[in-house]
Structure 1
């Protein structure tokens, strides 16, 4: 199972990610910031509060999360 092992929030709604197989890359999630759950992430300070849950999924304090496998595929397609 693909899991995120490191995450860092960058400007312009970009996440720098490292996965458990060593793949690294950056993904913009700007196009995903709509709807009740993701709306708070438009605030840069809140966006920066990204973390990794015990299952290796990136998440925010309001329980917004993004599937690790989808992010992984976005990065892997660039290689």
Structure 2
């Protein structure tokens, strides 16, 4: 059964690419640029130094201005504005990885 994702570490790579380590041992390399939209992400989108101020707080990537990104979205590989159907399909696919036939 899919458990909510928790990020344990962020490593900055090139540009907006990061490596994320999750509590379950999984690692993902992700380009976060598509997730940096809206006024709260403006400083991070326009200045790489501001982007690199991200830390992990309570299992989530956060920035000093209060911006954050849902770790489940990143773990499941969903797009920023994923529909409910896309969420359900991603969770079902994740659950299928661990089901026994």
Aligned residue in 1 for 2:50: 46
Which structure dedicates a bigger proportion of its chain to strand? 1
5+ residue gaps, structure 1: none
Matches within 5 A, 1:1-79: 1-42=4-45, 43-53=47-57, 55-74=58-77
Normalised by the size of structure 2, how large is the TM-score?
Answer: 0.68
Normalised by the size of structure 1, how large is the TM-score?
Answer: 0.85
Highest relative contact order (Cα 8 Å, sep 6+), 1 or 2?
A: 1
Structure-2 separation of matches of 1:68 and 1:74: 10
Do the aligned partners of 1:9 and 1:50 also contact (CA within 8 Å) in 2? Answer: no
Q: CA RMSD in A?
A: 2.0
Aligned residue in 1 for 2:84: none
Structure-2 separation of matches of 1:22 and 1:35: 31
| Segments of 4+ moved more than 3 angstroms | none
* 1:41 to partner: Cα distance: 0.6
